[in-house]
Amino acid sequence: MRRHPGLYLTIIILVAIAAALFVYPKNWGAKELPWRLGLDLVGGTHLVYQIDLSQVAAADQASVVAGLRDVIEKRVNLFGVSEPQVYIAQNGNSAQLDVDLAGIKNVTDAISQIGETPLLDFAEVQQNGSSTQYVPTNLTGQYITGAQLIFNQTTGAPQVQITFNTQGADIFSRMTAANVGKPLAIFLDNNLIEAPTVQQQITGGTALITGNFTVDSAKTLVERFNAGALPAPIKLVNQQTVSATLGNDSLKKVIFAAIIGTLLVVLFMLFYYRLFGVFAGCALIIYIALTLGIFKLLGITMDLAGIAGFVLTIGMAVDANILTFERIKEEQKRGLPRTSAVEEGFRRAWPSIRDSNTSTIITAVILYYFTSSFVQGFALTLLIGVIVSLFSAITTTRLFLRVYENSGSKNKESQRLATSN
């Protein structure tokens, strides 16, 4: 980079311009990829359910939780909100189910639908020529106590065994007797998932579903049955709703504050460091474009705290510049010629830049691992921001200075600019 600073600087500027276009393509007619914005900015509801696993055997817990998540995700998808998110937060021996619904209108309906026991139905199948009719029976998920994945002893094929309670066993026994050799349809949330053929009357209260299962599809079915039976009740423990109006208002204000903050920092650098300040300002703009590009590329959800974290890094990104510029001034006072003062300044300022940024990186990493979602967005943007700002302040600014020095040696008149302070 020492040899061709202009080339490298051009590359960085081009990448930054590409990033800027990627971040905000509106005015260039390019296709706008939407940002992933947090619920606190677009409005929406965040629901937290506590899953009561006290009645579930330890070995089944994982499949119960996974099945529950699956069913609830399917339900949530029916609400028609964009990118609903359902995720599990395991915390010791209790599990939480988090549901994020962006831009949802009717929260009450959503809450009541999520809380309902998933619908599991058995139906008899009647073939009338080419059309198939399903006749619902009164055997539903409420009679199932659990399901298990087992393997056929001779063929090794995966099969699903479901267990009914006494009442369910009774109904199932009568139903299978009437349908030997015919398919029996199984519906989950009114969607047909399987229609296995009944091979004989089943009286033991368990049913074996053979069929064309892969291990994965059998496992999924087991999870769904286990969730369908809902052996673990869920309870809404935390709900947070932010209106779209409030969210929009926050978004506008935080962006405005970011712009004002950036302008103030650039003005300060121009005022205090003059020509060097121009380079720092340009490096800062490049930093902002690159970092936003990375956020968007990684698909990081930008919530209010995350944006605040990023805005803070704008204030910190020039810190390394300040440390370097002060050092360069010092080296010049000691009588070093300008070009060597610049190189020496960068070299000598590095240990303090490295050590101080490491402390912020330590903080961000700890925040990320020990806290809940609000803080994680903040920690992540802070972490990425600090790392990119190191690159920006060291590499970009240095390239600007080298390019300037190269042109300056041809053009002596600007020699004393940095000493004027």
Binding residues for another protein, per CB under 8 A? 40, 48, 50, 91-92, 108, 111-112, 235-243, 245-246, 249-250, 253-254, 256-258, 260-262, 264-265, 268-269, 272, 304-305, 308, 311-312, 314-316, 318-319, 322-323, 326, 330, 348, 351-352, 355-356, 358-360, 362-364, 366-367, 370-372, 374-375, 378, 382
Cβ-based nearer residue to another protein, 199 or 340? 340
Closest CB 262 distance from another protein, rounded Å: 8
Least Å distance, CB 312 to another protein, is 6
Nearer to another protein, 209 or 318 (CB): 318
Residues 51 and 234 sit within 8 Å (Cβ to Cβ): yes
Minimum CB separation from another protein for residue 263, in Å? 8
Contact of 228 with 120, CB cutoff 8 Å: yes
In the complex, the smallest distance separating the C-beta of residue 283 from another protein, rounded to whole angstroms, is 13
Choice between 173 and 363, CB closer to another protein: 363
Cβ proximity to another protein: between 340 and 359 the closer is: 359
**To the nearest whole angstrom, how small is the minimum distance from the Cβ of residue 25 to another protein?**
26
Rounded CA-CA distance 90/62 in Å is: 10
**Residue 85 or residue 210: which is nearer to another protein going by CB?**
85
In the bound complex, what is the minimum distance in angstroms from residue 196's beta carbon to another protein? 39
Shortest separation between residue 57's beta carbon and another protein, angstroms: 23
Q: Considering beta carbons, is residue 99 or 169 the nearer one to another protein?
A: 99
Question: CB-wise, 49 or 164, nearer to another protein?
Answer: 49
* Full 3-state SS string of the chain: CCCCHHHHHHHHHHHHHHHHHHHCCHHHCCCCCCCCECHHHHCEEEEEEEECCCCCCHHHHHHHHHHHHHHHHHHHHCCCCCCCEEEEEEECCEEEEEEEEECCCCHHHHHHHHHCCCCEEEEEEEEECCEEEEEEEEEEHHHEEEEEEEECCCCCCEEEEEEECHHHHHHHHHHHHHCCCCEEEEEECCEEEECCECCCCCCCCEEEECCCCCHHHHHHHHHHHHHHCCCCCEEEEEEEEECHHHHHHHHHHHHHHHHHHHHHHHHHHHHHHHHHHHHHHHHHHHHHHHHHHHHHHCCCCECHHHHHHHHHHHHHHCHHHHHHHHHHHHHHHCCCCHHHHHHHHHHHHHHHHHHHHHHHHHHHHHHHHHCCHHHHHHHHHHHHHHHHHHHHHHHHHHHHHHHHHHHHHHCHHHCCHHHHC
Q: For another protein, which is the closer residue by CB, 157 or 367?
A: 367
Residues 88/244, Cβ–Cβ less than 8 Å: no
As measured in angstroms, the least distance from the Cβ of 236 to another protein is 6
Q: How far is the CB of 228 from another protein (least distance, A)?
A: 23
Measured from the CB atom, is 65 or 382 closer to another protein? 382
